[in-house]
Amino acid sequence: MFYSIILPTFGRPGEVDNFLDSITKQEYKNFEVIVVDGSPDDILHPVIDNYKNKIKLRYFHEKGLGASESRNLGCEKAKGDFLVFIDSDCVVPSDYLVKADNFLKANPDIDGYGGPDAADETFSTFQKAVNYAMTSTFTTGGIRGKKRHVGKFQLRGFNMGIKREVFFDVGGYSGMQVAEDLDLSMRLLKAGYKTALIHEAFVYHRRKASFYKFYKQLYFHGKGRIDLHLKHGDALKPVHMLPSFFVLYLLGFLPIVLFSNVFLLYLIPIILYTIVVFFDATVRNRSLLVGLLSIVTAYELLTAYGLGVWRNIFVRMVFRRGTDSRKEVILKE
């Protein structure tokens, strides 16, 4: 099977260099890489030129392209049986395509697959703490699934593959600025296509490099959940509201209990949750420092995501203002 790996980016020569370096080490060789850059300045050429003789690589630069438009353009140029989407801040293990190909050959009825993300040992303490918050059962990471699952798995844009004909059949990326990968995944499932989680096909995901960027990312993810619900009508489950209830408990009830005799009772769940996160993150990463920092990133994730959900509940659902900022996307096969 021939794979087309689509890499959307907005400049970021360091990230693209790390990504392409990992791709050159793939044990499975029947693939191509398509890099699509939407940045104002064509600064990736030196990086691209360094890899053109090492792998099948094509590069397209078009100023002003967003993530959805970049992915769609890459797919229009692709020749693969499977279109593989991986974010530019990821590093791909050398056996990634081998594991994906083995699974897909054993399950030829699978139309789309997703894989998890992990933190490499070389990642910084902060990046490991962010990875814990994004993947832990004790945060929203548990929603994403940990075991191999065949049937109706929601694909995530940082690591997923879709049959070429299936991608074009559902219209590709719709142009949503947030949660565009989940939108595509939901349209796949509603069209009757079959998806799976391949647990072994993971990538190392070097996530946001600061507390502010991490907060901003999760805040928009929370807003995007409401956008998805308004578009599809069934995208908001009780489990997605847990961070919102967490925010309500953490911030909404604080003024009420602060000067009352139930303040200690209010603190007990917070203390217990903090202890659980600390010990779980410490054991998983074998680091007390990562354990301590994971407390901060876990609280930041829940708070940012929860506030984003509440924001769009009031703005879009209660007051019926605003849109999901969707761009018009024209897809050609």
Cβ contacts of 93 within 8 Å, gap of 6 or more: 22, 202, 203, 204
How far, CA to CA in Å, does 110 sit from each of 82, 100, 115, 153, 188? 11, 11, 14, 11, 12
Q: pLDDT, tens digit, for every residue of 223-258?
A: 999 999 999 998 888 888 999 999 999 888 887 777
Structure tokens at 332: 């050609």
Q: What percentage of residues in the chain have a pLDDT greater than 90?
A: 72
Cβ contacts of 319 within 8 Å, gap of 6 or more: none
Sign of CA dihedral 296, 299, 304, 305: positive
Going through 14-153 in order, the beta strands assigned E by DSSP cover 31-37, 57-61, 82-86, 90-91, 112-114, 117-118, 149-151
- Fold category of 3-123+144-207 in CATH: Spore Coat Polysaccharide Biosynthesis Protein SpsA; Chain A (3.90.550)
Strands 112-114 and 195-197: parallel
What is d(CA 326, CA 329) in angstroms, rounded to the nearest whole number?
A: 9
When pLDDT is averaged across residues 152-162 and rounded to a whole number, the result is: 91
What confidence tier does 170 reach under pLDDT thresholds 50, 70, 90? very high
Q: What is the reported pLDDT for 148?
A: 47
Q: What is the reported pLDDT for 322?
A: 76
What is d(CA 79, CA 229) in angstroms, rounded to the nearest whole number?
A: 34
Q: Three-state DSSP class for 82?
A: strand
What is d(CA 37, CA 63) in angstroms, rounded to the nearest whole number?
A: 8
What is d(CA 109, CA 195) in angstroms, rounded to the nearest whole number?
A: 9
What confidence tier does 151 reach under pLDDT thresholds 50, 70, 90? low
Q: Which of the two residues, 208 and 310, has the higher pLDDT score?
A: 310
When pLDDT is averaged across residues 107-113 and rounded to a whole number, the result is: 96
What is d(CA 186, CA 175) in angstroms, rounded to the nearest whole number?
A: 14
Structure tokens at 172: 């590709």
Q: What is the reported pLDDT for 327?
A: 57
Q: Tell me the domain boundaries of the chain.
A: 3-123+144-207, 212-318
